[in-house]
Amino acid sequence: MATLTPPGLIESSRSERGFRRSLGKPSYAQLRRKFTIADDLRPEEVLAEAVAAAIAAGWSDERPINDQLQTWQGSKVDPHRTCSVTVLDRREVMVLLTNYDVA
């Protein structure tokens, strides 16, 4: 999911942040990618395809797609990581990867 660009989507922004501590509390490493959805695609289909790609890449299907919020979350273990895919405004999708390994 860190390198995948689904068909019909254009990466509009990307940001990375490494592990750090703020006031003694951990702030885990994250990769955030935002994509613009092409006008001829339906956001629901884009979300379903992104979730299918994540599951095919080995992310566990923790929860079903939340149709009301247009979001999904999966995880991997060893090291513990999460992946969330969210439709933001019907024209944009965000993929957020978080690595909880502090080593």
Tens digits of residue pLDDT in 46-99: 999 999 989 999 999 878 899 899 999 999 998 899 999 999 988 999 999 999
* Distance of alpha carbon 77 from alpha carbon 99, whole angstroms: 10
Determine contact, residues 91/81, Cβ cutoff 8 Å: no
For 76-87, the pLDDT digits (tens) are: 998 899 999 999
CA-based torsion, 60, 8, 3, 20: positive or negative = negative
- Asked if residue 20 lies in contact with residue 69, where contact means CB atoms within 8 angstroms, the answer is no
Q: Domain residue spans in the chain?
A: 9-99
- Identify the residue whose tokens are 């935002």: 34
